[in-house]
Amino acid sequence: MTYTAANAFTTRPTLQGTFGMTASTHWLATACAQAVLERGGNAFDAAVAGAFVLHIVEPHLNGPGGDMTGVFVTASEPDAPRILMGQGPAPENATIEHYRCQGLDLVPGSGVLAAAVPGAVDAWLVLLRDYGTWELPEVLAFALGYARDGHPILGRVVATINSVATLFAEHWPTSKAQWMPNGRLPQAGDLVTNAAWARSLDRLLAAAAESSVATREGRIDAARLEWREGFVARAIVDFGRTAHRHSSGTDHAGVMTLADLAGFEADIEEAVTVEFRGYTIAKTGAWGQGPALLATLMILDGFSDEYLDPSTARGVHTILEAQKLAIADREAYFGDTTVPLNYLLSSDYAATRRALITDAASHEFRPGTVPGHTPYHPVLRTEYTTEALSEQGAGASAGVGEPTVAAPASAAPTRTVAEPETLSTGELRGDTCHIDVVDRWGNMVSATPSGGWLQSSPTIPDLGFCLGSRLQMTWLEPGAPSALTGGKRPRTTLTPTLVLKDGQAVTALGSPGGDQQDQWQLLYLLRTIVGGYTPQQAIDAPAFHSTSFPGSFWPRTWEPGGAVVENRLGEPVITELEQRGHRITRAGDWALGRISAVTREPQTGLLQAAANPRGAQGYAAGR
């Protein structure tokens, strides 16, 4: 028995065409990427152009000082999914001992001690060099124009700036100068510029133009070298030497060196895959959270279709319980280290995990047993909640983390959160961006850039951006698979997805949302693969996720048995979930999930695109 979406509501149509499709979390990035396709560029040219625009128009969600991961296929090798690895490592001097000596027992959620080596810009340039066709000035022209001449600022950006205005005024004067010029908070719709980043882009382009090499690839590499070893690297290191306020409420200097920046280069890796209902799902390695989605699918693959319907209480319960088990293994085993993925993604292991699912919600942290490996068990912390830090006067905690829904102060089992990015204290927290592109030749890419939020750390005035805070995903505990280690990548939450059928890529999708990214993408996969939903139907359908595991973001808290749901699931479904023991947070009708997707039918060449309507910001375009 298969569930269907015959009468599913949609906010907009699934776009269809044969020329090219783009979808992203901001309409300007979508429009610019589509413009590249219209002018003869391929999907990779378009994705890079759109990504640099996202740095400008969603500065509260990503920036040049952040990171990214992507998954893609080329038209010439449609059966070979690859990973674009743009996650920089911890600086060599970022050691557990150093942070402990600073009086810290967690990596802060904001400030340069939380910064990994920035990887996003280099990764995008590697993608352009190896798989694109355009010259660098053409690709960067869109972003350079918005940085120099201005773009209308989003209301959510303004709200984020307002949430950290006191922090800027008292501790981060360079951020105040950039985001509150003349001490004034911008208004939604104001045209804002970033002159320093425009100058930085000009200098990168000049380095490419002045290069003695005659090839397009060589010119792009010259810009990459200027980023890693030239004025960008020097400004990052010089600025980081000055101590500033972190989310811990204490002041610290950074530890990044010129050698750290010069030593990192983005690269291309093989994807990790599993088979589910006749489809191949491709994700990053276990240095990211992507294989947790694959493990969830392996667990769910043993259930009949009626157990996989996200619109029923039985389906929601089964999905939540499978996710808890897979994400417990993420915490216990994943990191930039040797991870027994073949075992964790095997059918036999999935069967043992599936057997743990009962009719009642589990409130336990239950990693599996892997021969030769000791699972890491994080400590459930209560001293780092937003309310506790506010009582301690740690005002720098504003704007850190990446949950899209945060529980109010009340500990009642049933709660309501009115806005998806609003905390009970009135603060806003960071999130992420996403972009998907498919062209008429069959090139397809899905990418999730993040980090370097305007609230991550003080703006570097010579560059116009700040560093990210990805190291908050590491533990200051030796022996943890994701322990802070110089030269090792933090276990990122950035996790785009590629779907293949019969050796051909058919879908590229992804979502912002930190720990929720794969949880929301799972719902899309189940609804389209099992339920037969169209892309827009799957995106618009009610979403939910579990919070019954340690959060990847500072302050690393979690709620045993917790589940966040959109009210549109319906009262009968929500009531039954509570009866099964889930601690439900009601998020409002349209609060969860920011998925976008593009698809391709290899036999006919039909292309499709869809984007999330929540927040009235994400859009798809194509023809």
Q: Facing residues of 410 across strands?
A: none
Domain coverage including residue 179: 33-66+92-266+435-482
Mean pLDDT along residues 116-134: 98
Neighbouring residues of 604: CB distance < 8 A, sequence distance ≥ 6: none
Asked whether residue 272 is assigned to any structural domain, the reply reads no
The answer to whether 377 and 364 are in contact (CB under 8 A) is no
Distances in Å between the Cα of 607 and the Cα atoms of 10, 106, 283, 521, 540 are 19, 46, 22, 20, 19
Instruction: For the chain, give the mean pLDDT.
Output: 91
Lowest mean pLDDT among 358-362, 416-420, 557-561: 416-420
Half-sphere exposure of 555 (CA within 13 A, CB side): 23
Asked whether residue 371 is assigned to any structural domain, the reply reads no
Asked whether residue 339 is assigned to any structural domain, the reply reads no
Task: Give the tokens for residue 173.
Answer: 């004067």
- Beta strands 435-439 and 15-17, pairing class: unpaired
What backbone phi and psi angles, to 5 degrees, belong to 327? Answer: -75, -30
Confidence at residue 427, expressed as pLDDT on a 0 to 100 scale: 35
Asked whether residue 300 is assigned to any structural domain, the reply reads no
pLDDT tens digits along 372-414: 999 999 887 665 554 555 554 444 444 444 433 333 232 222 3
- Beta strands 415-416 and 583-586, pairing class: parallel
Asked whether residue 410 is assigned to any structural domain, the reply reads no
pLDDT tens digits along 551-596: 999 888 889 999 999 999 999 999 999 999 999 999 999 999 899 9
Asked whether residue 123 is assigned to any structural domain, the reply reads yes
Place of tokens 């990973």: 83
Asked whether residue 549 is assigned to any structural domain, the reply reads no
Confidence at residue 555, expressed as pLDDT on a 0 to 100 scale: 87
Compute the distance between CA of residue 294 and CA of residue 433 in angstroms, rounded to an integer: 22
Structural domain count of the chain:
1
Confidence at residue 419, expressed as pLDDT on a 0 to 100 scale: 29
Q: Which residues of 317-334 are buried (b: 16+ CB within 10 A; e: fewer)?
A: bbbbbbbbbbbbbbbbbb
Closest CA to 314 of 363, 362, 361: 361
Judge whether residue 450 has pLDDT over 80.
yes
DSSP state for residue 526 in the 8-state scheme: I
**Peptide bond just before 555 cis, omega within 30 deg:** yes
Categorize the per-residue pLDDT at 206 as very low, low, confident or very high, splitting at 50, 70 and 90. very high
E-state strands within 444-573: 444-450, 497-501, 504-510, 544-546, 562-565
User: How many other C-beta atoms are found inside a 10 Å radius of the C-beta of residue 501?
Assistant: 14
Place of tokens 């994701």: 482
Coil/strand/helix, residue 316: helix
Asked whether residue 298 is assigned to any structural domain, the reply reads no
- Beta strands 151-152 and 77-86, pairing class: unpaired
Distances in Å between the Cα of 493 and the Cα atoms of 152, 294, 396, 402 are 29, 14, 23, 10
Model pTM score: 0.93
Rounded-to-10 torsion of CA 91, 496, 72, 132: -60
